[in-house]
Amino acid sequence: MEKVRVRFAPSPTGPLHIGGARSALFNYLFAKKLGGQFILRIEDTDLERSSCASEKNILDSLRWLGIEWDEGPDVGGPYAPYRQTERLESYQSYVNRMMKTGHCYYCFCSEEELEQERQELMAKGELPRYLGKCRSLTPEEQARLRALGRQPVVRFRVPPGQTVVVDDLVRGQVLFESDGIGDFVVVKSDSIPTYNFAVVIDDLTMGITHIIRAEEHLSNTPRQILVYQALGAPLPQFAHISLILGKDRSKMSKRHGATSVMQYREMGYLPEALVNFLALLGWAPEGEQEIFSLEELIQEFSLDRVAKNPAVFDMDKLHWINGHYIRHTPVERLTQLGTPYLQKAGYLPQTLTTAEEDLACRIFRVLQSYLTCLSQVVDYAPLFFADTVDQSPEAQEVLAEAQVPAVVDLLTRKLNEAPELTPEVVKGILKSITKELKLGGRQVFLPVRAAVTGQVHGPELHDIIPIIGRERVFSRLARFGG
């Protein structure tokens, strides 16, 4: 069997979108599952909107997710270059060929003329498309127009009365009538090829076997197929995956909140969590497993388990998955990834002493089951770093109880006497207080928690008191003593 070669071909017009990441992921999984190659190609023929920064963002985002490419703009490969603006010559010969065979022709219509044509068609209630005005210009007419300084575009001559069949691996056969497609531009007046043409040539010359991309490209596919046919080239396999929708069921966009991979990274999502989540959007494994490593996904992935219907981006589930990965990752890694949030918020300095590193590690150990994303550590930070804490209404209620001053005084004394504060020591102290004052656990633990943290909920007291440290604990307890 022919070796599988797939590609992810983003245009560098913005940061990598969550939808793009999923397309890349599906391509990657498909390739790796079948022992094929995953190629990254940059489609930068839109000179206006393309930027190096966006390209870098896309590469960084993919790498962060753990999606590695076998060939691409930065790593090279046997079909280099992998940036369309660097492959301009490669398109020219194909244009010439189609020009010679009559599949293409020059069109001198100006934008104004086209706009007018569009308006007229719309006014008549017909579908706006190019009517083929320049289809049969004689060489003389062409020369005259060129002499006027008109820069022509090259259009593809769409054959009339044809049914174009898109054989799609996820959607089955999809039929299009060629009459519904106007002669489309293949080379722009600045002599840069358009998307619909460049993709075909690149996929063809790079030996791409399967084109897995978002559904929004489905209606472009008949145009591309027409080009393949004009060239007498074999068709690759197509697979159009459904879109990712926002909460309101329209295509995911900025107004739905975070849409780029990097935003999720900044919010403290782990790459493996995002990958796991994205894989489950529009694809379902055979069993009932929900948590998958990249390796497992590669094992399990198959295009025929990809859904046809669009999927709503479910933030709740992402949170759950991320929380799961946070709970299951080593504290050292959590600390490493999470400490920058503490630094950015000013709780810790840019460069850490060994003691501060240790402190951060202890904080993350305690918070591990509380966080659903790393940035939330900042919400808990005052608990560990503030000299005084505000009491919640519930905490105030608890602190009004009669036994509180005695408990606080005794705790203060015992903490003071302890040579060192460790979880074991604090645990013992708290227990001894219940005994000495003959109080129920609740009557001791709850007020202590309220006084020390300002909350009635939170991690084990014996874990957090040593982290908070004697000084701060005393300053928080002070107001509640007898």
Partner RNA sequence: GGCCCGUUGGUCAAGUGGUCUAAGACACCGGCCUUUCACGCCGGUAACAGGGGUUCGAAUCCCCUACGGGUCACCA
Tell me which residues in 157-216 interact with RNA (CB under 7 A): 171-172, 174-177, 180, 182, 184-185, 188-190, 192, 194-196, 215-216
DSSP letter for 171, please.
T
Spatial strand order in the sheet of 172-177: 37-40, 5-8, 210-214, 237-241, 163-168, 172-177
Closer to RNA by CB, 339 or 443: give it. 443
Tell me which residues in 243-262 interact with RNA (CB under 7 A): 243, 245, 248-251
- Six-digit token string for 380: 């808990």
Q: Identify the three-state secondary structure at position 450.
A: helix
In contact, 102 and 127? CB cutoff 8 Å: no
Contacts of 347 (CB under 8 A, 6+ apart): 378, 381, 384, 385
Stretch that binds RNA, among 28-36, 128-136, 226-234, 382-390 (CB under 7 A): 128-136
Distance CA(109)–CA(150), nearest Å, equals: 9
Does residue 379 touch RNA according to CB under 7 A?
Answer: no
Tell me which residues in 325-364 interact with RNA (CB under 7 A): 327
Among 118, 365, 414, 470, binds RNA (CB under 7 A): 118
In angstroms, give the least distance from the CB of 478 to RNA: 21
Catalytic site residue 254? Answer: yes
Does residue 49 touch RNA according to CB under 7 A?
Answer: yes
DSSP-assigned states of every residue in 102-154: TSEEEE---HHHHHHHHHHHHHTTPPP----TTTT--HHHHHHHHHTT---EE
Tell me which residues in 75-94 interact with RNA (CB under 7 A): none
Stretch that binds RNA, among 9-17, 96-104, 138-146, 352-360 (CB under 7 A): 9-17
Closer to RNA by CB, 162 or 343: give it. 162
In angstroms, give the least distance from the CB of 111 to RNA: 5
Distance CA(288)–CA(280), nearest Å, equals: 12
Closer to RNA by CB, 54 or 412: give it. 54
Tell me which residues in 291-320 interact with RNA (CB under 7 A): 304-305, 307-312, 314, 316-317, 319-320
Among 462, 465, 467, 476, binds RNA (CB under 7 A): 462
In angstroms, give the least distance from the CB of 441 to RNA: 4
| Listed residue (53, 61, 405) closest to 40, CA to CA | 61
- Six-digit token string for 473: 């604990």
The number of beta carbons lying within 10 Å of the beta carbon of residue 288 is: 6
Number of residues that bind RNA (CB under 7 A): 88
Among 40, 134, 208, 280, binds RNA (CB under 7 A): 280
Q: Point out the catalytic residue in the list 254, 308, 427, 431.
A: 254
| Listed residue (449, 472, 475) closest to 460, CA to CA | 449
Tell me which residues in 397-456 interact with RNA (CB under 7 A): 441-442, 445-446, 449, 456
Closer to RNA by CB, 317 or 470: give it. 317
Among 114, 418, 425, 437, binds RNA (CB under 7 A): 114
**Crossing angle of helices 18-33 and 52-65, rounded to 10°:** 50
User: Is the bond into 12 cis (omega within 30 degrees of 0)?
Assistant: no
Tell me which residues in 12-41 interact with RNA (CB under 7 A): 13
Active site residues: 254
